[in-house]
Structure 1
Amino acid sequence: MKHLPKHLRPRWRYLAVGLESWPEADVDRRSFQRALWFAAQNLLGDAGSADLDGSVLTFRFEDGAGEAVVRARRGEVERLRAVLATVDAVDGDDVGVVVRGVSGTVRACEEKYIRGPAEVSEERNVVFAGADRHAVVRGDRVDADVGGGHVGATALDIRDN
């Protein structure tokens, strides 16, 4: 079977997507892809999600932070941004999704917007809301354990113990 001529091939745009969640969240490529397709189908319907494509090409997630490169057909970037804005959980784990940038090739997308390894996370005890608590610290963000879950805080909200 012959390849299509260049002017008839589909043209793609690649979105660099940043992901953030709680430290114990377990998000993998397959579950993120499933959540993305489900959100696209709910927002755009079957035909709209097929036009969009929305394939996850590269994915990395560890210690509550990660990134992915998601493919969209040229002209569908704004619709993919809308779909990504509706993704708030993956397999029951709350996830924050942010589009870092858009590029015409995967290589340029990774070089410009994918930052490499996530920030180093550190576990320590802090004082939050008047009590000693276990926390995971990433940069200036603190995820304090408050019994049944976590509370996101900043360095200004806590005191080291």
Structure 2
Amino acid sequence: MTLPKHLRQRWRYLAVGVESWPEASVERDPFQRALWYGAQDLVGDVGSATVDLTVQRFRYGDGEGEAAVRTRRGAVERARAVIASVDEVAGDPVGLRVRGVSGTLRGCEEKYMGGGPVATEQRHVTFEGADRTATLRGGRATVRVDGAPVGVTTLDI
């Protein structure tokens, strides 16, 4: 037996942009786990259960991706805070940004998701007086210095 519509749980869907280094491997299950642990750390066990973050859609590749994350209607601000507190997924550093909030999963996908990945380009550049390989995405670039990735803008190279 299903509950009448006015008694059912109301959900909100947050469109989350995911960004990391191009060689990072960010997958759905570790991303979900990072959200759960972030919620426990920030708002505790009871708060985590109240926020109830669940990844509904997830896409990631070549350093960029997006996710649709479900939360309870009254917990949107706490969900935003939890998402902002997550800075790594399975050991890979990530930047998360809430693009928008919608009352339906379909509305979330149509309004805030599906723009597709940004085109990437490999180029040889001069950075810190040395020739290096860079991965360019939009106005940003990732340059390897001593084996570690460094995020720069195209004005830096």
Place the TM-score, normalised by the shorter chain, in its bin: over 0.9
Could you give the per-residue CA deviations for residues 80-138 of structure 1, whole angstroms, max 9, x where no partner exists? 00101110000110000000000000111111111432101111211111110111111
Instruction: Tell me the SS of whatever aligns to 2:53.
Output: strand
Please say if 1:72 is aligned against 2:71.
yes
SS for the counterpart of 1:110 is: helix
Structure 1 Cα separation of the partners of residues 58 and 148 of structure 2: 26
Paired-residue identity, %? 62
1:116-131 aligned within 5 A: 116-131=115-130
Amino acid paired to 1:92: G
TM-score (norm 1): 0.95
User: Any stretches of 5+ residues in structure 1 without a counterpart?
Assistant: none
Q: TM-score with structure 2 length normalisation? A: 0.98
**Equivalent-residue separation in structure 2 for 1:99 and 1:76 (angstroms):** 14
- The reply to whether residue 98 of structure 1 matches residue 97 of structure 2 is yes
Distance 2:39 2:84 in 1: 10
* Gap regions ≥5 residues in structure 2: none
Separation in structure 1 between the aligned mates of residue 146 and residue 90 of structure 2, nearest angstrom: 21
Structure 1 CA distance, aligned partners of 2:44 and 2:139? 40
Cα root mean square deviation, aligned: 0.8
Number of the residue aligned with 1:30: 29
State the number of aligned residues: 157
Determine helix, strand or coil for the equivalent of 1:132: strand
4+ long deviations beyond 2 Å: none
